Chain A
């Protein structure tokens, strides 16, 4: 299994506050992803990165920003959290050798915005 960790694992915050979630991988994978999981929707891609400082938007990117200053770290920031961003957030990574390569997921971060 790829070594992917997420921090924090749980967070409760208030509407309007900034929140940053961290993803750390030790596999030297080029590609990293942030997803959110909500009931009835499965996993939806927020943003992804295809290299250091190279990022792009996913399906549900509004209200989120990301940064990747090192291969191993991918940060997800909610500039001003809203209740609709209450969700479970998963980070994933892959070497991206070809096509749809297996993605290795972190354990998730449960975020509650009050």
Chain B
């Protein structure tokens, strides 16, 4: 029962262009959504979050959009850089003890 789904296993983007990573969820009770970035042989690191009372949160080149009616969120990276190449996980839940993660999207940013 995957409550959070990332339907695109991979995404390739040219340096300087926009990267859009998508995430869908099924549980309308989720209060918080987070994005994590993971490099090979390392643990995930926190990138950006959004609570269900907002529809947008921005942090530098990273913006997360939340569409509650569609149960969909997306992460925009503008402009994309080669160092952004990593696996991105989205997660949703109502507290730390029950966060549900998607399977991840591998982003490749080509120079």
Contact = CB atoms under 8 A, between A and B. Distances in A.
B4 interface: yes
Q: Per DSSP, are chain B's interface residues mostly helix, strand or loop, or mixed?
A: mixed
Interface in B66-91: 89, 91
Contact of A103 (B2, B31, B96, B104): B96
Interface residues of A, number: 31
Contact of B46 (A31, A39, A104, A108): A104
B46 A42 contact: no
Interface string B14-49: 000000000000000001101010000111111001
Interface of B: 2, 4, 6, 31-32, 34, 36, 41-46, 49, 51, 89, 91, 93-104
10 shortest interchain CB distances as A-B pairs: A105-B43, A100-B32, A42-B101, A43-B101, A102-B46, A42-B103, A105-B44, A42-B102, A107-B43, A106-B43
